[in-house]
Structure 1
Amino acid sequence: MNATNFEGDKALALKVEKEIIGYNDIFKKDVVSYHYFEVVIDKEGKTIEHLTQLAIHVSPKGKKDKNPPAITSKLISRSLVMVGDENKKWSLKKIE
Structure 2
Amino acid sequence: MRALRLTLIFLCCLIGSGSAQHLENIDEIGNFSEGLLAINKNNSWGFIDVNGTLVVDFRTDIAAPHGHSPIYSNGLCLIKEIRENIWYYGYINTKGDLVIPAEYIVATAFENDYARVIKPYKTEVIGTNMLGKDIVSYSYHELLITTTNKMALHISGPHNLWYYKLKLQQDLPMIHSTFISPHLIAVKEADRWKILKIE
- How would you bin the TM-score normalised by the shorter chain? 0.7 to 0.9
Alignment of 1:91 onto 2:181: no
Alignment of 1:58 onto 2:58: no
Does the 8 Å CA contact 2:146/2:152 hold for their aligned counterparts? yes
* Match of residue 27 from structure 1: 131
* Match of residue 76 from structure 1: 180
* Structure with the greater alpha carbon radius of gyration: 2
Distance 1:36 1:25, change over 3 A: closer
Amino acid at match of 2:161: V
* Match of residue 110 from structure 2: 6
Q: Which of these residues, 150, 155, 160, is aligned with residue 46 of structure 1? A: 150
TM-score when normalising by structure 1: 0.80
Kindly indicate which of the two structures has a greater share of residues assigned to helix.
2
CA drift at 1:22: 2.7
Amino acid at match of 1:66: Q
Q: Provide the identity percentage.
A: 32
What is the CA RMSD across the aligned residues, in angstroms? 2.1
CA drift at 1:25: 5.3
Give the gaps of 5 or more residues in structure 1: none
Comparing 16-25 and 26-35, the one that deviates more: 16-25
Does the 8 Å CA contact 1:20/1:30 hold for their aligned counterparts? no
Instruction: Please identify runs of 4+ aligned residues in structure 1 that moved more than 4 A.
Output: none
Q: Distance in 2 between matches of 1:46 and 1:34?
A: 22
TM-score when normalising by structure 2: 0.42
Q: Distance in 1 between matches of 2:180 and 2:142?
A: 15
Amino acid at match of 2:140: Y
**Count of residues in correspondence between the two structures:** 93
Q: Distance in 1 between matches of 2:129 and 2:138?
A: 20
Q: Distance in 2 between matches of 1:11 and 1:51?
A: 12
